[in-house]
Amino acid sequence: MRILVTGGAGYIGTELVRKLAQRTDIEEIVILDNLSRGLYNMFLCHHFGKNNIRFVQGDILDTRTIRKLVKKMDVVYHLAAMIPSPYTEVDPHLIEQTNLWGTAELTYAVEDSDVKKFVHISSISVYGSSGSGAITENTALNPRTNYGISKMRGESFVAQLIPKLDTYIVRCGNIYGYSPSMRFDAVINRFAFEANFHKRISIHGTGKQIRSFIHVDRLSQVLSELPFHPAIPGGIYNLVDHNRSVMDIALTMKEIYPAMEMIFINQQLRMRNLKVEPHSALRHFFSLEQTDFKQELEDLIQQFSFHP
């Protein structure tokens, strides 16, 4: 079995490849990444234990490379995406090029190949916000950001594959937890860094806004098993661990760092909620160990090189 992972040098990709490398039924894992985020950490400091992993530096928009790689694959994971930081401006055209047209070109290549399984990583941002109840896969899409819009439109191309091959669209919550390639613009990871090295955290708005989260270990575990699980039908699935307000995360962090300060930025702003039902259909197929949230934060902090 041969597997392609687009965006495989990123936050999710590093942990996914680590788990796939443990399987004995995989002949080759090919990582495609343009390294646009400067993430070289997956290539350092640890060994995957196998010699069946190959890296190709290339872009999801390079149709020729994509078609050449996909032609030889049995399973394709599509993780490559342009993900803007929450409080920085990114050219909407660049987001659309990668998340929409890059995804479209990949699906065209898959459609013309012998690929048997396709796993597309999407985002709960396609829902926009939630009302009084929790979001499910049946909730209407209403993205509020350029990123959310691009992911929604990209999904529309992937969905066309569902009747033709085993295709899974996985809408992930906000990801947190240690990885050599982790992102520090994600709220929980950012709080951990700020608390440890600055002894203060920055909270945008009142902190009452609710978000849905999933630990990178549980996400990568599900993804590594998903296309090999015979009982899971193709379709669209949400995948989150829990829902928490930003203030709840901050207060848990303060239990670990009692002297930590909280600085509120634009406290008058009303931030939208995005709360997703954790017990989605996909989780029924997996036995996932749920650890204590505070312990998870402490484990993350222990990965830092020093603690001033």
Instruction: Give the residue numbers annotated as catalytic, written as ranges.
Output: 147
Which of 239, 302, 250, 197 lies closest to 12, judged by CA? 239
CA–CA gap between residue 261 and residue 250 (Å, rounded): 10
User: Distance between CA atoms of 228 and 28, rounded to whole angstroms?
Assistant: 15
Give the whole-angstrom CA distance, residue 241 versus residue 277: 9
In whole angstroms, give the CA distance from residue 6 to residue 8: 5
Measured CA distances, 262 to 85, 174, 249, 258, 306 (Å)? 21, 21, 12, 11, 22
Residues 75 and 42: beta-carbon distance below 8 Å? no
Non-local CB neighbours of 89 within 8 Å, separated by 6+ positions: none
What is the rounded CA–CA span in Å between residue 106 and residue 157? 9
- In this structure, what token pair is assigned to residue 65? 């490379």
d(CA 110, CA 198): 47
Separation CA 194–CA 197 (nearest Å)? 5
